[in-house]
Every structure is written in structure tokens, then in C-alpha cells.
Chains A and B, each alone.
Chain A
Amino acid sequence: MADLLDRKLIFVTGKGGVGKTTIAASIAWLAAERGKKTLVCDVDDRGDLADLYEAGPLGFAEREVAPRLWAMSMDAEASLKQYLSLQLKLPLITRIGPIARMFDFVASAAPGVKEIVTVGKFCWEVKEDHYDLVVVDAPSSGHVVGQLAAPQGINELVKVGLVRNQTDWMLDILGDPDKTGVVIVATPAEMPVSETEDLMGRLERETNVSLSAVVVNRVLPELFGRGEEEVFARLEDPGARAAVESELGGHLGPLVDAARLMVTMRRSRTVHLERLRNAVSPEVAMLYMPYLFSRGSGLRTTRQVSEALAAELGY
């Protein structure tokens, strides 16, 4: 299997709240650090990606936010304009007065158009070889299939017309597992794992895009190693506890409670982690990202996560 970063186009998705934007930002950051000219794009336009690079607001025009790392925010209307002029070679775009209104109509009424100009932009960047890698902070699991399936859907709905002619080359890029892949981000919790299971099935049935990796985010550390948990349990004994406390000069209560809390939290997550492991086929890479106690934000987090990612990828 090709290395994750050797692909050309990566869509990062997952249930809301699992940290998908952070993972997308970190994958792109790592790729750029490793010498690849990388484009990363925010599709939901909530500004989260911009915050992770501390680079100010992003627009549709790509901007270099760090060496070799270019970032942009998707704007379907701007993408349609670019698409019409570059792809369809439509003359005199400026004279088509109500283009914005037309777009509103097209996007609202014709299913899949908004999606295809979005996916089309990424495929175009890949086709033209403008970047070594394009990373998409894609919509959450509920919406991403609609986007990835759009070229196929348009192919079926629109029988003639220029758009129809454009879908074939997009399908070629999307359907090549060495070029294009989806990364699903999940946390070890009930709903994120269930959504990952559902999404894997839908990707398989409804799109021609393959799954490259599953990132398990916010994995809690194992507090005690082999045999240590028994020692911890024996610290409950009043005599032993008193001995430690007299040496230390304070009550261990809150410290022991916190340790028990961590052990419990990790145990309840393990069930879901196991379920996820069983659901993911062995050919798909699983990458484990640790829980960050700093719960920070911004560039510091992006760097921390990309370091952890590098370690998981064996760099």
C-alpha cells in the first residue's frame, strides 16, 4: 500500500467533534515539513483551519501560510466561476450578469452541483499537478458521501452538456487508490465508532473513492503497566496509605481519585476501540493519536499532533 503522504488527494472526515480539522491541518503540516508542496482546504468555512495555522482568515485564493504549505477556504461560487472559465472555456463570463443568482439557483435546485464544483476544484489541482498533495478538511461523515459521490451522480442525472463531459476525468482521479483516499477520524466512543462503521460501508457502496486510513484520536494513556495496577489497588489499604501519606505530608485522596478516574475512562473507551479495530479491514492503516492534556489550540497543537502523526507513520 502506498504511504499515506504519497497520495495526491486526501479527504479527511469523521463525526463532528472528533478533531477532524486538527488532523487534516496536521497531515498537511507534516507533508509540507517533509518537502511536499501541499495545499490544504477548509470546506466548511468555519475558520477552524485558519486558527490551527494562526494565519489569519483564509479565502478562495490559495495562500502560502508556511514554507511549501498553501491554504485556502472553499467558496463554491468562486469555484464555479473558475470552473466555467478554466474548464468549460466559456467566453465572456463577465457579461453573464446574474452569475451569482444563477449559481444560487443551480446550487439550490440542481442536486450535486455545489458538490461537484467543490470536488472538481480539488481534482483539477491534482490533474494539473500544481501540488504534490492536496488535503481536504472535508464535511463531516453525514455529508461527505454526497460530495464524493457527486461526479457519479451528475453522470447519471445529466445526460448531456458540458458538465457531463467533465465528470469522467474526475472519476478517474477519485477512483485511483494510489492517488486519492479518505481518512476517517474517530475517537474511541460509541457514536464516532458507529458513524465510522456506517461511513465505511457507504464509501464502498456509493462512491469509487477508497479508504486510506482510520485515525483514532484522543487515545488516553495507559496509566499503569503490568502488575502496577495491583500495587495501586493495594494503596487503598489504610495502613499502606497512611505510611505513604506520613512520608509525603498530605492526603492522597484526590490523587488516588484522579488515577482511578483515568483508569475508568480508559477502560470504558477500550470497548469502542476494540469495536473499531474489528470493523476496519486489515489493509487499512490505523493511526493512534494520543489525548493532549494541554487541550490547547492554534499552531502549537498542530505541531504536537503532526509530531505524533510522524511517529505513527514511522518517520
Chain B
Amino acid sequence: MAQRGGPSRSAGSLGGLVASREIVIACGSGGVGKTTTAAALAAMAALHHQTKVLVLTVDPARRLADALGLEGLGNEARRVDPAAFSRSGTKPRGDMWAAMLDTKQSWDDLVRRHAPDRTTAERILTNPLYENISGRFVQSHDYIAMERLYELHTSGAFDLIVVDTPPSRNALDFIAAPSRMAEFFSSKLLRLLIAPYKSRLVNVASRPFYQVADRVLGSQFLEDIAEFFILFQTMYPGFVERARAVERLLADRRTTFVVVSTLEPAPAAEAEFFIEVLTSRGYDLGALVLNKVLPDYLLDDDAAALAARLEAKAGVIASTKGLAVSLGTDAHQLERVLCEIASNFSNFSMVASREAGLRRDLERRGSIVASAPELEGDINDVAGLLTLGALTWK
């Protein structure tokens, strides 16, 4: 394993934060290790506290899913085999559970729950539009993640839930999803659309609207849509109320957000944006977790000066009497090796100093900042999660 990046300098610790909350939501842009970080925090919590922890994940890498026993699970939460902990040489004080988010299944459950009767539920579920809509309708993925979180939290089955958020096209999407969903279902527009199909009395003022819609999409298609929403309307009250409750839960003090990032320009910019959004909405920014951080020694000025000197003097050093031979090579090859060592350090130190700049910008935000280096190899067992978790926990 590579050496760890800089130590966390903030007052609180990630471990302390996680111990004090019921919901931890990991967010950040794609490719920064969000899923792994969420799973690592859950594993650490289960290791240290006598509590029942659930990691709710969206799209784990296959081997991580296997390690958590998630393959082919659908929506059901399942306990991570305690043997997975003993294989890592640890004995957890609590239980770790894992669940995957199945968007389609969650929508079906939602419809069954909110529909007034079984017949209506079945008619919605079998409507040809439903499948499309449950798949991509108004950030359905983002909404359903938050809805599922609410469901699991209120079930009281878990003391702590760590959530890995879906990859959004925009940082705002999943945070805004519950309120957007509520707005959509209570919107005038939806009523406007459905009106002519409910009664044949078309409001004269809105006629061009329907004419265009008809010409563009065909009236049969519009009628299909209208029928779908008329059915869906029976669920509005429950639905809107639910979306509002989900929204309240996100703002609750029992919930905290952990922004995950690497120190590359684009993810760091996204992390800053996340922090702004969370702050402006009054949500709790609990911590910032920085992954794949380069080791501190790359920032050493003396070492950088030495690398420059080595690059300049490589030829002279390589010709030192007997040196090349003692290394089983000739002066020419030794010079090349020394040059590579020198220029590699210079390259890395340039990246490291850019990282340090981004890190300073992010640290100014004042939350707990924890960082972990790039680990050798991918994480595909509980031991790996605990190794990563331990680097950020204290």
C-alpha cells in the first residue's frame, strides 16, 4: 500500500460524526470512490459500535457487490456474512447489512402502497407508459433513492444507514428530487393536460396547446398519457405528502452529508458546488472525504531540489567508478534509470502541489476533512473496506 496522504487536521473525526447520526449520505461526482467510501464507513461503524448498520448502494463494482453478498438481491436488505469480518481478522461489535437500489422494484412498491385499491395499482403497473416513466421520469432514480432511504429509516430496522447516491447528471438532482416530485404531482400543468380527457369541454383559451400536442404526438398517444396520469392522480395526496416527508428527513439533524472527492480539478469543483448547495439548503455538511490523495513526501521542497540535481548530474553519477557494475549494469543504463527516477519525482510533485492547492480551497469550508491515498489494487472484500475506512476514521 502507498503511504497515506496528509493527516486530518480538523477538530472532529469522521468516526465521531458517523457515530452521532442515523443517516449518512455520501455524495460527489462520478469516479471518486463514493460507493467504496460509503461501504467503508458502514463497515467501520459495524466494527466499532454495537449497532445495526445498513449500506444502501446504487451501483457497486461487481466484486464489491459479491463481497457484500449483494449479487442478484434486488431491493432486499441482507446481512453481510460475519465470516467476511472474521476473514479480515476482526470481530465486529455490530452488524453490517447491505442493500442495493432497484429502481423499478421500488417504483412498483410505491405504486402498490399509494394506489387506492389493487385494481388501480395493477392498471398503473400494466400501463405501457409506466415502464418508461418509472425508468426515466423526472429524475426517478434520484427520487427513488431518497424515497427508499425514508422507507428504511422509518422502518426502524437500522440504527445507522449509509447511503451511496446515484450518479447524477447534476449535483442538485437527487437533493432536489423530492421537492420536484411533489411539485410535479401537484402542478397545474398536469391538471391542464388531463382536463380535456376527463371532460369533453375543452377550454377555448388552451385549445392551441392541445392542437400542437395532437399534431406533434398524435391524439392516441396523448390519450394514453392522460389515462395514465388520471390513474396516477389517485395517488397524488399520498405521494406529495411522502415527498415532503423525505425532504424533511434530509434536513433533519439526524442526517449528515459526506462529500466525497478526489483532488482533480473537475471533481473538486463539483465538490465545492455540492458544499454550496448543501449549505444554502441548510443541510448538514458533516465531512469531506478525499480519495486517491498523493502522499505528502511529494511536496517536500528539498526532495524536489534533489530530483532536479539528480536529473542534471545523472551522467556523472552513473560514471562513478564501479557503481554501474555493482548494480549489474552499465553506466549508460544506470544514467537512464536515474533520470527516470528524477523526472518521475518532478512530474509527481507537480501533480501533488496542484492537489495541495485544491485541498486548501476545500478545507476552507471548515468541515471535517479526511483523506485516503490510492490503495494498491481494488477493494473487493471487507478487509479492504476496513483498511480504507481506518485511514479516514480517526
The interface stretch among B8-16, B280-288, B309-317, B384-392 is B309-317
Does the CB pair B221–A161 fall under 8 Å?
A: yes
CB of B189 within 8 A of CB of A228, answer no
Say yes or no: B221 contacts A158, CB within 8 Å.
Answer: yes
- The answer to whether A234 and B327 touch (CB under 8 A), given A48-B266, A109-B229, A257-B295, is yes
Inter-chain CA distance A224–B337, complex, in Å, is: 7
Tell me the number of A-to-B contacts counted with CB atoms below 8 Å: 215
Nearest B-chain residue to A293, judged by Cβ: B347
Q: Is the CB of B212 within 8 A of A96?
A: yes
Confirm or deny: A66 has a beta carbon within 8 angstroms of a beta carbon on chain B: no
At the interface, is chain A mostly helix, strand, loop or mixed?
A: helix
Q: Is A84 an interface residue (CB 8 A)?
A: yes
* Pair B341/A191 contact, Cβ less than 8 Å: no
Report the minimum CB–CB distance from A65 to chain B (whole Å).
20
Q: Which residues of A contact B307 (CB under 8 A)?
A: 255
Within 8 A of B (CB), among A188-215: 189-192, 194
User: Within 8 Å of chain B (Cβ to Cβ): is A268?
Assistant: yes
Instruction: Tell me if B176 is interfacial: C-beta within 8 Å of chain A.
Output: no
Interface membership of B89, Cβ < 8 A? no
Contact of A140 (CB < 8 Å), options: B30, B61, B377: B30
Interface size class, chain A: 35 or more
Looking at chain B's contact residues, is the secondary structure mostly helix, strand, loop, or mixed? helix
B215 at the interface (CB under 8 A from A): yes
Q: Is the CB of A96 within 8 A of B30?
A: no
CB pair B209–A254 under 8 Å, yes or no, is no
> Are B2's CB and A97's CB within 8 A?
no
Select which of A160, A268, A295 is within 8 A of B220 by beta carbon: A160
Shortest distance between the CB of A124 and any CB in chain B (Å) = 16
Cα distance A18–B29 when bound, in Å?
Answer: 11
Q: List residues 193-234 of chain B with CB under 8 A from any CB of chain A.
A: 193, 206, 208-209, 212-218, 220-221, 225, 229
In the complex the two chains form, is A259's CB within 8 Å of B2's CB? no
B213 CB contacts on chain A under 8 angstroms: 102, 105-106
Q: Is the CB of A161 within 8 A of B320?
A: no
CA distance A12 to B234 in the complex (A): 42
A110 at the interface (CB under 8 A from B): yes
- Whether B340 contacts A227 by the Cβ 8 Å rule is no
One of A1-9, A243-251, A307-315 at the interface: A243-251
Question: What residues of B have a CB within 8 angstroms of the CB of A98 in the complex?
Answer: 206, 209
- The answer to whether A194 touches B169, judged by C-beta atoms less than 8 angstroms apart, is no
The 4 tightest CB contacts between A and B, nearest first, are A16-B30, A17-B31, A161-B218, A111-B132
Subset of 30 A-B contacts with CB under 8 Å: A17-B29, A17-B30, A17-B31, A17-B32, A48-B266, A102-B212, A104-B189, A109-B225, A111-B132, A111-B135, A113-B217, A140-B169, A153-B132, A157-B128, A159-B218, A159-B221, A163-B216, A164-B218, A232-B337, A235-B327, A244-B320, A247-B320, A248-B310, A251-B306, A255-B310, A258-B298, A258-B349, A259-B345, A268-B376, A295-B264
Not counting A161-B217, A189-B31, A254-B298, a sample of 9 additional A-B residue pairs whose C-beta atoms are within 8 angstroms of each other reads A16-B31, A18-B31, A111-B129, A140-B169, A228-B340, A244-B323, A247-B320, A265-B374, A293-B350
